[in-house]
Amino acid sequence: MKVRTVIITFTIIGILTIFVINHYLTNGYAITFIEKNNIAPTSRVRELTEVLLPVAYYEFDERTEYWGYIDESGEVAIAFEFQEAYDFDENYLAIVKKNNRYGLINTRGERVLNHLYQHIQYLGEDIYYLESSNFTGFIKYNDAEKNYTTIKEVKYDFVGSFSEGLAYVVRDKKVGYIDATGTEVIPLTYTYQEDFNYSFMNDYAFVHQNGRIGIIDKNGDFVVEPQYDEVINEYTLSLDFQDLYLSHFEIIPFRKDDKWGYMAPNGTIILNPIYDEAYPFIEGLAIIRRDHKYNYINNSGDLLLNDDVDLAKDFYNGYAVVANKKKAGLINTNGELLIDLTNDYIGVVNQGRVLIVNKSNNKYYNINNLEDYFTISSKAGDDFTDCGVFFAKNENDSYKSYVIYDYQGRRIYEEITPYEYSQITYHGKTYIVMHAYEKASNLEYLTYLDENGNLLWKVYKGTN
């Protein structure tokens, strides 16, 4: 899997923060320190396998972020003493930043690694990659002993996460592979290109050499010599409320010269390159383009639609949006047109509802009964999340922000102005992570809604 930073949210400092500070200063508002409540941790001893979520607030008068952790009930578990705080990984360890250096803590807030490092990265397989002035290399965490051992001291320009027992590493723009002992089992001989996933998937990996892409096995031998111009071995399905990362495809789109086709992970051709564009199979169907028009195919290459369309979106929950002449409709996986191509916009179907917009009017329809719908006052709504809420643009804000609705279309949490939000899955549960602001307290913070739409935590000003 492609290496990703472990933080699950957005940085709080940004254009909006600068705007708010400037607004208060230019309007003669004296920013003074206000005591903050709901930031002190409880005294109970935490289990080392307890799930904790990173939260933060922004102190306007100090222009500083403070990060800590809450538990699943919203109780503060670890004090707000960090400059940055990231997810707890599968070992229930989290990377945190203090005094401009990174360290590791457990769910009791105890230090596993002191704050000495310029960089810490969890790679999977209980292995971490560290960079400091005194040590750069790999360590392995021992869960039984609650400590770590040094594996190898070595420096790379980039290190990927472990996938199928191997991780790719980069030095001087060359790619190779290490095993869990830090040994280079496949030499760094392949050409590195940014934004490409070199991880092993289904026993094989794609690599660049001499300007083309080939396929190697775990011995580093080519099973297919470099000959492809492009492959899609990972894909992000972008929805209103989340980005779904997909990889380890059994059928992989590839481009050779000017045409796209599909192959197995070992390079066996499944569908010959005859398409102008080709995308991964999602819910058993893939988008393809021919002669400036789009359609869907199954893994035999059979077309789903009798007529090609101007636009086709990926399937999600059994439905997909198609469009002709800038008018959208909705189909199912049988290719049946359930909603005619007469609409300005159609969202994805989620929680049994689908958003349809015509002339800026938002209507949320019951997908099983299109006579059943409700409207909202906001002009631009988003799709239903999986957490009991959906979001819409805040029409009263000249800057980008949102308002929150429940599944019945009722405005909730009106005191909160979310700037950004995203649905995430964290330790097996679904949350909305939300960067919000409250005018009443002039406080900006990072928090969560749980799977039932409950607000887990917020910082608020004291009464003194």
> Which residues, 6+ apart, have CB-to-CB distance to 22 below 8 Å?
none
Q: What phi, psi does 4 have (nearest 5°)?
A: -135, 145
| pLDDT, greater one: 246 or 26 | 246
Angle at 11 between CA 10 and CA 17, to 5 degrees: 120
Q: Distance (Å, rounded) from C-alpha 406 to C-alpha 344? A: 24
The answer to whether the Cα torsion of 349, 355, 358, 360 is positive or negative is: negative
Q: Pick from 126, 124, 134: which is nearest to 155 by CA? A: 134
pLDDT at 26 over 70: no
Q: What is the dihedral of CA 131, 2, 68, 44, to 10 degrees?
A: -100
pLDDT at 170 over 90: yes
Question: What CA–CA distances, in Å, run from 148 to 134, 179, 207, 452?
Answer: 17, 18, 33, 38
For residue range 273-302, list pLDDT tens digits in order: 999 999 999 999 999 999 999 999 999 999
Q: What percent of the chain has pLDDT over 90?
A: 84
Q: Is 22 helix (H, G, I), strand (E, B) or coil?
A: helix
Contact 181, 166 (CB under 8 A): no
> Which residues, 6+ apart, have CB-to-CB distance to 28 below 8 Å?
none
Q: What phi, psi does 197 have (nearest 5°)?
A: -95, 110
Q: Distance (Å, rounded) from C-alpha 286 to C-alpha 305? A: 12
> Which residues, 6+ apart, have CB-to-CB distance to 311 below 8 Å?
294, 321, 322, 323, 324, 328
pLDDT at 3 over 60: no
The answer to whether the Cα torsion of 110, 115, 120, 126 is positive or negative is: negative
pLDDT band for 8, please (50, 70, 90 cuts): very low
* β-pair partners for 434: 421, 447
Q: Residue 275 has which token pair? A: 């398409």
For β-strands 417-426 and 411-412, DSSP reports them as unpaired
The label of the residue with tokens 């990926």 reads 314
The 8 Å CB, 24+ separation contacts for 391-397 are 391/240, 391/241, 391/418, 391/421, 392/362
Per the prediction, the chain carries an average pLDDT of: 92
What's the rounded mean pLDDT across residues 165-175?
98
Q: Residue 102 has which token pair? A: 């990174």
Q: Distance (Å, rounded) from C-alpha 204 to C-alpha 119? A: 29
Q: How many H helices and E strands in the chain?
A: 1, 43
For residue range 388-434, list pLDDT tens digits in order: 999 999 987 766 899 999 999 999 999 999 999 999 999 999 999 99
Q: Pick from 247, 208, 246: which is nearest to 229 by CA? A: 208
For residues 422-459, b (16+ Cβ closer than 10 Å) or e, as one string? bbbebbeeebbbbbbbbeebebbbbbbbbeebebbbbb
What is residue 315's DSSP assignment?
-
- pLDDT recorded at residue 60: 82
The model's pTM is 0.90
Q: Residue 191 has which token pair? A: 């050409």
For residue range 110-144, list pLDDT tens digits in order: 999 999 999 999 999 999 999 999 999 999 999 88
Q: Pick from 312, 280, 286, 311: which is nearest to 298 by CA? A: 286
Q: What are the domain boundaries of the chain?
A: 317-384
For residue range 46-98, list pLDDT tens digits in order: 999 999 999 999 988 788 999 999 999 999 999 999 999 999 999 999 999 99
pLDDT band for 146, please (50, 70, 90 cuts): confident
Radius of gyration, alpha carbons of the chain? 25
Check residue 419 and give left, alpha or beta (phi > 0: left; psi -120 to 50: alpha). alpha
Question: What CA–CA distances, in Å, run from 272 to 230, 371, 463?
Answer: 15, 44, 70
Q: Pick from 159, 186, 78, 365: which is nearest to 356 by CA? A: 365
Say how many C-beta atoms besides its own lie within 10 A of residue 114's C-beta: 12
Contact 178, 137 (CB under 8 A): no
Q: Is 431 helix (H, G, I), strand (E, B) or coil?
A: strand
pLDDT band for 2, please (50, 70, 90 cuts): very low
Q: Residue 2 has which token pair? A: 């492609």
Q: Distance (Å, rounded) from C-alpha 348 to C-alpha 456? A: 27
